[in-house]
Amino acid sequence: MSGNFLDLAQPGVQQLSPYVPGKPVDELARELDLDPASIVKLASNENPLGASPKALAAIRDELAELTRYPDGNGFALKSLLAGQCRVELNQVTLGNGSNDILELVARAYLAPGLNAVFSEHAFAVYPIATQAVGAQAKVVPAKDWGHDLPAMLAAIDANTRVVFIANPNNPTGTWFGAEALDEFLQDVPEHVLVVLDEAYIEYAEGSDLPDGLDFLAAYPNLLVSRTFSKAYGLAALRVGYGLSTPVVADVLNRVRQPFNVNSLALAAACAALKDEDYLAQSRQLNESGMQQLEAGFRDLGLGWIPSKGNFICVDLGQVAAPVFQGLLREGVIVRPVANYGMPNHLRVTIGLPAENSRFLEALRKVLARG
């Protein structure tokens, strides 16, 4: 007996498109017969510094234990996070990247007949996680490319169980302040879990962004998710975490896969968390690189969306797909965001100064060709 296994899948899964990551360097090199060393990748919001030397040393020290399962409870990393984030050990949930935390929330709290609320132009994993478990996705129109928190509040109904909000937001880089967040959390019904996605928060220290940790004690329906993939430079190892009440953390641990964070990731994350110099260098490089790209866009007569992440969306004033393809032929990989409802924009990761210059030169060349 045979069947159409697409039709047999969950209705929400049938309607999904797979997440499309940034094009890898090796793939572009094969497609266009380019030297991989000549390609600049500014597509995936990776830290251009490379990993912390302390994290690399920790990985080397851990290699002899590859035959052993990792600490399924992640005690050492949880202990460090609890101390740094001013929470108890039982408030920390570790994930295989912060995406894993989002998936755990969806598996634990969403189901057919229930819904999740999130913004237009928000992270693609929100609809994937929501629809994959058969729940309804309620997408609220954005305001100035960012979250319209009052409108999101109005979209909550009796069947809402989760609200996903990102600060800064990916891919737009937009943000909201502490007062707006506090007002929003005050009015969210107690039965709704608010997931505050702070994947890029380390790049915004000292700015006008709120620290989600400051709100945890006051709002038991708040979960803050963070990652080591961005400012900490460990994207390949996939390690993130969620901070919440002990009750929510306990629920997530009931659906969390055993050993979801590997030993090398645990060791590297512990070392990276202690390397304050590396984090400061990452922030400084990002700030100067952001200024470099903004100046370049200004010279080209292009607009952009102000960003608090390690990326920026440039408005080309035309459909971006041909420009994206032209940049690929120049050996420069950025990220088209038409799938986010932004067909005229390209998202560009902040790179090293030379990489930023290479991108701007290539962009000027492609635009001049028309």
What's this model's pTM, rounded to 2 decimal places? 0.93
pLDDT per residue as tens digits for the range 82-132 = 999 999 999 999 999 999 999 999 999 999 999 999 999 999 999 999 999
- E strand or H helix at 184: helix 178-187
Alpha carbon distance 231, 46 (integer Å): 8
Q: How confident is the model at residue 1 (pLDDT cuts 50, 70, 90)?
A: very low
pLDDT for residue 8: 79
Q: Are 305 and 333 in contact (CB under 8 A)?
A: no
Q: Is the pLDDT of residue 150 over 50?
A: yes
Does position 152 have pLDDT exceeding 50, yes or no? Answer: yes
CA distances from 93 to 65, 125, 151, 162, 249 (A): 24, 19, 30, 17, 6
For residue 107, the model assigns a pLDDT of 96
pLDDT of residue 2: 60
Residue 366 has pLDDT above 90, yes or no: yes
Mean pLDDT, residues 218-236 taken together: 97
Nearest Cα to Cα of residue 95 among 246, 247, 265: 265
Q: What are phi and psi of 342, to 5 degrees?
A: -130, 65
Would you say residue 158 has pLDDT above 50? Answer: yes
Residue 7 confidence (pLDDT): 82
Q: What percent of the chain has pLDDT over 70?
A: 99
Q: pLDDT digit string (tens) for 48-69?
A: 999 999 999 999 999 999 999 9
**Region of residue 317 (left: phi > 0; alpha: psi -120 to 50; beta: else):** left
CB-side neighbour CA atoms (13 Å) of 177: 3
Structure confidence at residue 291 as a pLDDT band (50, 70, 90):
very high
pLDDT beyond 60 at 182? yes
β-sheet with 335-336: strand ranges across:
303-305, 311-315, 345-349, 335-336
Compute the mean pLDDT over every residue in the chain, rounded to the nearest whole number.
Answer: 94
End-to-end CA, the chain: 55
